[in-house]
């Protein structure tokens, strides 16, 4: 049930946002050309150098472009670069730039209000990305790069330290978007709230914690297959209502065009137990769903002092002591895939052939062997944020049945993230969403030089055989050989049980019937340049 205060606040915020859209144009913007969504997690920066999470990446993707982009099948496609060559055995990438890409209009560009993007702009943007003073969380993207230079206005060369087949995928990340030196030099740190890009929409206004408005870029360079200029929409309106139930109610009332979540508070209202749309909404709502490169898991900190977690017996029991298929059906209405094959999710090559079969009898035997040897009962602490409390309570109940006591510690998301990185948690609920479509992205979490807090190896898993294979895989250009090594690495890591894979997620979006052209993709990137709205 929604509290009256919460609903009133929601109504006021929505009214203010709508009035603002109407007042930012000389003519009233018609509803069917404004796309509206809510970001309950809030946006912290519109600077691509800080596009580290979906809530920031989504608006940044409407504002900025890079050399290349991903299509809905994760294929690398041209963007500002219309073509490229890979030379010197994979060590040199030569990009040829379009000549019709211009920065959004701004007085900073002088009388013409804009200028064309040239290769030197990418040199500047990459220098900024790796500048320690900027402290971008995406600076790691350039770790494989030895040098880069602009040969002329239309030609950029990037040279790698070693061949790295996943490099083009890395360049599709919005960290690598082009930014103008004029804008960054003028705004400094406030470029985060005064972005100037090249994308299908330009920045209009951001009232933090209330609304963000983007407007159509009438000089955008991309066209659809029929030759019509993109984008079709006139504006994007993003609200920041933190209450998920309020977001859901606004969507049902037609005041939001889509929601991208499956919250426990309304999953049964929208979905049948089989994961299909409830019949009463079939005339109002369309559901889009498919594989998502996101593995939900429980991490185990291996450098901790709890003898239970130092024991392979208990770690194996944790992995086989609960029914993943039942968990997906019970908690997520069958949205997702049970994570029975290691850490690499469905949709990427390299998944281990090993499976975690539900085997409560063997789990009890393992726990009894541990108790006999150590003369203690296993008791563990599991940290989570409130969004995943239901999942952790399910694990708590199921593992208690086989003899493992779990104490759940609920903490704010930011606190959980910091504690996980600093090694202060025994067990922690986490997820890993692919930054780029290559299994190396997942296996990097078990590479010992990546120990947290400097890197993403939060479990502090370490094995020399794994590290050697990881380094070898980075140099291979043969896809079949890389896949074989990825499978071997995934299986090596999972044999030691540093994590408990829970499920491979699904992208799921609920959209209004008058929204056309929205597509889903395995990295759950929001692409609005091809979206249309018809009149209700």
Give the tens place of pLDDT for each residue, 238-249. Answer: 999 998 899 999
Q: What is the 3-state secondary structure (H, E, C) of 153-195?
A: CCEEEEEECCCCCCHHHHHCCHHHCCCCHHHHHHHHHHHHHCC
Q: What local confidence, expressed as pLDDT, does residue 442 receive?
A: 95
Q: What kind and span of H or E run contains 122?
A: helix 119-129
Nearest of 504, 5, 507, 51 to residue 258 by alpha carbon: 507
The pLDDT, as a whole number, for residue 413 is: 87
* pLDDT at position 29: 54
Percent of the chain with pLDDT over 70: 94
What is the model's pLDDT at position 10? 43
How far, in Å, CA of 322 to CA of 320, rounded? 6
**Mean of the pLDDT values across residues 145-165?**
95
Interval 429-438 mean pLDDT: 90
Average pLDDT over residues 123-140: 95
More confidently predicted of 253 and 349: 253
Q: Determine the pLDDT at residue 398.
A: 97
pTM of the model: 0.85
Classify residue 56 as left (phi > 0), alpha (psi -120 to 50) or beta: alpha
Q: Would you state the structure tokens that stand for residue 101, as one six-digit string?
A: 């890409």
Rounded percentage of the chain residues whose pLDDT exceeds 90: 81
How confident is the prediction for the chain on average, in pLDDT?
91
- Kindly write down the DSSP assignment for every residue of 292-361, as one continuous string: EEEEEEEEE-TTSS-HHHH-HHHHHHHHHSS-HHHHHHHHHTT-SEE--S-SSPTTSTT--S------HH
Q: What pLDDT, on a 0 to 100 scale, did the predictor assign at position 476?
A: 84
- Checking if the pLDDT of 14 tops 50, the result is no
| pLDDT of 26 over the 50 cut | no
* Complete domains list, the chain, with CATH: 4-252+513-533 (3.40.190.10), 291-506 (3.10.105.10)
């Amino acid at each position: 049930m929604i509290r009256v205060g919460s609903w009133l606040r929601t109504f006021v915020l929505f009214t203010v946002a709508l009035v603002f859209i109407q007042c930012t144009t000389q003519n009233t913007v018609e509803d069917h050309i404004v796309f509206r969504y809510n970001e309950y997690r809030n946006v912290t920066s519109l600077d691509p150098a800080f596009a580290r999470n979906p809530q920031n990446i989504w608006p940044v993707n409407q504002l900025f472009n890079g050399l290349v982009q991903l299509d809905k099948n994760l294929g690398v496609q041209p963007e500002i670069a219309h073509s490229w060559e890979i030379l010197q055995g994979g060590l040199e990438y030569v990009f040829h730039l379009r000549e019709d890409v211009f920065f959004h209009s701004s007085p900073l560009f002088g009388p013409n209000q804009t200028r064309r993007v040239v290769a030197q702009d990418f040199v500047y943007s990459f220098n900024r990305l790796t500048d320690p003073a900027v402290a971008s969380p995406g600076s790691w993207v350039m770790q494989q790069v030895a040098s880069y230079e602009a040969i002329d206005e239309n030609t950029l060369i990037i040279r790698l330290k070693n061949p790295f087949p996943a490099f083009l995928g890395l360049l599709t990340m919005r960290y690598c978007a082009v930014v103008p030196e004029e804008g960054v030099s003028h705004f400094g740190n406030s470029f985060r709230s005064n972005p100037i890009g090249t994308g299908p929409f330009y920045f209009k206004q951001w009232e933090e914690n209330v609304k963000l408005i983007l407007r159509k870029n009438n000089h955008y360079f991309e066209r659809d297959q029929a030759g019509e200029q993109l984008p079709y929409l006139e504006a994007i309106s993003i609200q920041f209502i933190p209450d998920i139930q309020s977001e859901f109610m606004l969507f049902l009332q037609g005041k939001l065009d889509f929601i991208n979540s499956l919250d426990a508070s309304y999953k049964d209202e929208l979905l049948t137990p089989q994961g299909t749309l409830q019949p009463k909404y079939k005339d109002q709502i369309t559901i889009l769903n498919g594989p998502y490169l996101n593995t939900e898991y429980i991490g185990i900190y291996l450098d901790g002092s709890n003898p239970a977690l130092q024991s392979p017996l208990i770690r194996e029991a944790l992995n086989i002591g609960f029914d993943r298929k039942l968990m997906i059906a019970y908690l997520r209405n069958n949205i997702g895939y049970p994570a029975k094959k290691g850490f690499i999710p469905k949709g990427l090559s390299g998944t281990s052939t090993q499976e975690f079969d539900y085997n409560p009898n063997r789990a009890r035997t393992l726990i009894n062997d541990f108790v006999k040897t150590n003369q203690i009962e296993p008791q563990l602490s599991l940290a989570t944020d409130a969004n995943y409390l239901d999942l952790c309570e399910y694990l708590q109940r199921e593992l208690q049945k086989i003899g493992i006591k779990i104490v759940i510690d609920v903490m704010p998301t930011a606190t959980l993230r910091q504690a996980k990185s600093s090694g202060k948690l025994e067990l922690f609920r986490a997820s890993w969403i692919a930054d780029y479509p290559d299994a190396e992205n997942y296996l990097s979490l078990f590479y010992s030089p990546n120990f947290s807090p400097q890197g993403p190896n939060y479990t502090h898993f370490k094995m020399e055989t794994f590290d050697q294979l990881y380094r070898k895989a980075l140099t291979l250009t043969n896809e079949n050989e890389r896949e074989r090594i990825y499978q071997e690495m995934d299986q090596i890591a999972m044999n030691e049980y540093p994590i408990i894979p829970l499920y491979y997620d699904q992208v799921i979006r609920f959209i209004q019937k008058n929204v056309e052209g929205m597509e889903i993709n395995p990295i759950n990137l929001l692409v609005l340049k091809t979206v249309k709205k018809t009149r209700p």
